[in-house]
């Protein structure tokens, strides 16, 4: 393992002013997104859509540090025959790959899941590195509900994350460690904070036991927010303050950066929360974004599968990327959204 190289890549992934584009939707997930804009999901339409993102020179070169790809995408070529990985590299961005195989029910723990995909991962990582991936992503999913999460669910997911991270580093690939506490339930913001803290402390214990070098990792956590079904709203300041408090309690300063997931927040909410955290400051890590929907909802809608809309979709993507880039510096303002509209 070359820790200096891993650290260099991890630092580049969390460069201030930039963040990570999560373009790793599974075929099933992107089909749902395409259904909502009336586009058939085929290998070609998926390629065309992702190509328009990766060819958004303004957004990619100025505001996107890395792109998480799906197995299909890392193997695809653009219409002119250039590999999509090459397009990302030409824009000065780092290619990455989602390597987990999704969630399965955890036996005897109703309502809880565990992420699978460790079998054969060592060999897959070697192949992905050959295809150009320099970092990887594995997502664990923790739900909050009546009597859940259980310690067994948290422990099983944290252990799998640590084993994945160790295999990545062995292959000189930076692991993004993503333990997501879902915002779907009826819980309040304090319950989210409590569970997020429990999950992160368990994850860092498992990473330590797996001898993962934290300097060569990036954390991708949820923000601390009330559950969607709670009917409660928290102010931007409260979300920022409570999220930072939890992170300070759990995340060692050796971690180069934290790239938040948007997790079902609206585009502007995700930007505002990230900005507020950077305005508070005083933390040992870079705070940035690793957004999927919060970067892509606007360009997808603008594109709607039509060639003549590509430029408009690229403008929409560049705007969202820029807004989030400013948020990583604590320089975003609501007026900038209105001005663009």
Asked whether the predicted pLDDT for residue 38 surpasses 80, the reply is yes
The model's confidence at residue 15, banded by pLDDT at 50, 70 and 90, is very high
Domains of the chain: 3-340 (3.20.20.70)
The model's confidence at residue 341, banded by pLDDT at 50, 70 and 90, is low
Asked whether the predicted pLDDT for residue 27 surpasses 70, the reply is yes
From 178, 180, 206, 267, active-site residue: 178
Give residue for tokens 């992107």. Answer: 30
**pLDDT given at position 338:** 81
Instruction: Copy the structure tokens of residue 270.
Output: 């995700």
Output Rg (C-alpha) for the chain, integer angstroms. Answer: 19
DSSP 65-122: EEEEE-HHHHT-B-TTS-BHHHHHHHTT-EEEEE----EEEPTT-TT-EEE---TTHH
Q: Based on the residue annotation, tell me whether 338 is a catalytic residue of this protein.
A: no
Asked whether the predicted pLDDT for residue 73 surpasses 80, the reply is yes
The pLDDT tens digits for 240-284 are: 999 999 999 999 999 999 999 998 899 999 999 999 999 999 999
The model's confidence at residue 5, banded by pLDDT at 50, 70 and 90, is very high
Name the average pLDDT for the chain: 97
Asked whether the predicted pLDDT for residue 340 surpasses 70, the reply is no
The pLDDT tens digits for 120-134 are: 999 999 999 999 999
- For residue 261, the SS3 value is coil
291 in Cβ contact with 223 (< 8 Å):
no
**pLDDT given at position 186:** 95
The pLDDT tens digits for 196-214 are: 999 999 999 999 999 999 9
**pLDDT given at position 339:** 74
**pLDDT given at position 61:** 97
Report the percent of the chain where pLDDT is more than 90. Answer: 98
Q: Based on the residue annotation, tell me whether 170 is a catalytic residue of this protein.
A: no
DSSP 189-258: HHHHHHHHHHHHHHHHHHHHHTT--GGG-EE-PPP----GGG-----HHHHHHHHHHHHHHH--TTS-EE
Start-to-end CA distance of the chain, whole Å, equals: 47
From 18, 98, 137, 220, active-site residue: 220
């Amino acid at each position: 393992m070359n820790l200096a190289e891993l650290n260099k890549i991890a630092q580049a992934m969390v460069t201030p002013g930039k963040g990570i584009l999560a373009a790793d939707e599974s075929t099933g997930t992107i089909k749902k997104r395409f259904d909502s804009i009336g586009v058939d999901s085929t290998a070609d339409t998926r390629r065309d859509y992702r190509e328009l993102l990766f060819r958004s020179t303004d957004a990619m070169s100025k505001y996107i540090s890395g792109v998480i790809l799906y197995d299909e995408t890392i193997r695809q070529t653009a219409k002119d025959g250039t590999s999509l990985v090459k397009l990302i590299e030409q824009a000065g961005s780092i290619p990455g790959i989602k390597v987990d195989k999704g969630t399965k029910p955890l036996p005897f723990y109703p309502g809880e899941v565990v992420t699978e995909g460790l079998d054969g991962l060592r060999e897959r990582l070697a192949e992905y590195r050959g295809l150009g991936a320099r970092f990887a992503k594995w997502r664990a999913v923790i739900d909050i509900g009546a009597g859940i999460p259980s310690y067994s669910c948290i422990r099983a997911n944290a252990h799998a994350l640590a084993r994945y991270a160790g295999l990545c580093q062995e292959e000189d690939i930076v692991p993004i460690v993503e333990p997501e506490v879902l915002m779907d339930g009826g819980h309040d913001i304090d319950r989210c904070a409590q569970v997020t803290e429990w999950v992160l402390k368990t994850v860092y214990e498992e990473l330590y036991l797996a001898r993962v070098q934290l300097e060569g990792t990036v954390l991708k956590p949820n923000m601390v927010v009330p559950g969607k079904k709670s009917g409660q709203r928290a102010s931007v300041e409260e979300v920022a303050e409570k999220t930072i408090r939890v992170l300070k309690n759990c995340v060692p300063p050796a971690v180069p950066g934290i790239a938040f997931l948007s997790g079902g927040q609206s585009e502007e909410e995700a930007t505002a929360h990230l900005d507020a955290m950077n305005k508070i400051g005083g933390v040992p890590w870079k705070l940035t974004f690793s957004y999927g929907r919060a970067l892509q909802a606007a360009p997808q809608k603008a594109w709607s599968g039509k060639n003549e809309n590509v430029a408009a979709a690229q403008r929409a993507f560049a705007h969202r990327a820029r807004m989030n880039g400013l948020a990583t510096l604590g320089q975003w303002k609501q007026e900038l959204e209105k001005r663009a509209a």
